[in-house]
Amino acid sequence: MNNTKIQLFVFLSMMYLSVIYCSGDQSRHRLYQQSDEAIATISNQLVSQAIELVDSVVEDLLVLDSKNPIILGYLDRFDAFTAVNETKTEEKLNAFYDVVEDYLDSDTKGDPVELSSIESQLISLCLERNGFDRWKRTVQTRTTQLNRVIYRKLKRHMDTLDNEDRLAVERRWKRTLSRGGPPRLEKLRDFVQWLGKFTD
Ligand SMILES: *[C@@H]1O[C@H](CO)[C@@H](O)[C@H](O)[C@H]1NC(C)=O
């Protein structure tokens, strides 16, 4: 090849690569935006349900008019939830997880429920009576759906990446599937935020 041909070859290769990378960036950005929006929608729905639930549970517990320190302590935890502004969806949801974390089962949280005391059984009863099961079902169904949708799009996106980047994304994705630690929806949120910042 003469010089001009080499230059042309290099130029075209660079164009080709930049097209690949550009479309990779764009597809990742689109995936980030769509997932971020989906998570926000789900979180909003969960927060509205949680607010209703907490209102009724607090009413129930107040009706008991208990002087029991554990019950009173539990009411304080609800105060912490109520104090968070509901426009701050993520904080509000995390505050709810703090209140109910002892009552979440393995599908939602990764740890088994252990209700030893009479008080915790009573609180659990109050939660169930006011639709906690519905809330848990919503989290599980929506998180599972979201997980599936994100993964399907992620696989397609990973085909556009080079080996090293694909491995990085795969490794990071695996963390969302691990048991224990934060709730699954939070793990997905972390992953999506990470994906939004990830650059080639
Ligand atoms: C919640 O935050 C919004 C926006 O920052 C504010 O307008 C509203 O007054 C706040 N609500 C409460 C109850 O503090």
What ligand 1 atom has the least distance to the C-alpha of 86?
Answer: 1
Domain extents in the chain: 26-197
Question: Tokens at residue 186, please?
Answer: 């939070």
The pLDDT of residue 66 is 82
Model pLDDT for residues 125-137, shown as the tens digit of each residue = 999 999 999 999 9
Residue 117 one-letter amino acid: S
Tell the residue nearest (CA) to atom 5 of ligand 1: 87
pTM exceeds 0.75 for this model: yes
Angle at 77 (CA atoms; ends 85, 115), nearest 5 degrees: 135
CB count within 10 Å of CB 99 equals 21
What's the CA gap between 106 and 85, in Å, rounded? 29
Q: Is the CB of 2 under 6 A from ligand 1?
A: no
Distance between CA atoms of 169 and 122, rounded to whole angstroms?
44
- Our answer on whether the CB atom of 83 is closer than 6 Å to any ligand 1 atom is no
pLDDT band at 5 (very low <50, low <70, confident <90, very high): low
Least confident of 19-23, 57-61, 118-122, 180-184: 19-23
From 87, 88, 89, the mutation candidate for ligand 1 (largest count of ligand atoms within 8 A of CB) is 87
